Amino acid sequence: MAEEEKERIIIPDENGEEHLFEVLFTFDVDETEKSYMVLVPVESSEEDEEDVEVFAFRYEDKGEKDDDIELFPIETDAEWDMVEEMLNTFQDSEEL
């Protein structure tokens, strides 16, 4: 069984250096009409799966193309709680 191709995006840091991330999953919250994306750096996801730093952002589609999105930091505790709950659900389903 072939492993499905993971979606990857490039995010520049504050110094303008580009970093490649793999999208673990995205989800939408109907009540707030906001979308979220959970990412891991490609370098770490290929090395040690036990201790991977996970990043989460709120995102908005900005155009007709799939790769035209804008990322926003998650700022509220309620949003972080929701992301953590989704991440736990994702991890539980991956372990099956």
Instruction: Write the pLDDT tens digit of every residue in 21-49.
Output: 999 999 999 988 999 999 999 975 455 55
Residue 86 located in a structural domain: no
Total of domains in the chain: 1
d(C-alpha 75, C-alpha 82), whole Å: 12
> What pLDDT, on the 0 to 100 scale, is given for residue 1?
45
Please indicate, yes or no, if residue 44 is contained in any of the structural domains. yes
Range of the domain at 42: 12-67
Q: Is 94 contained in some domain?
A: no
The region of weakest confidence among 22-26, 34-38, 53-57, 90-94 is: 90-94
Mean pLDDT value of segment 75-96: 88
What is residue 43's predicted lDDT score, i.e. its pLDDT? 79
How large is the average pLDDT for residues 47-74?
80
DSSP H helices, the chain, are 42-47, 77-94
CA distance 51 to 39: 14
Q: Does 74 map to a domain? A: no
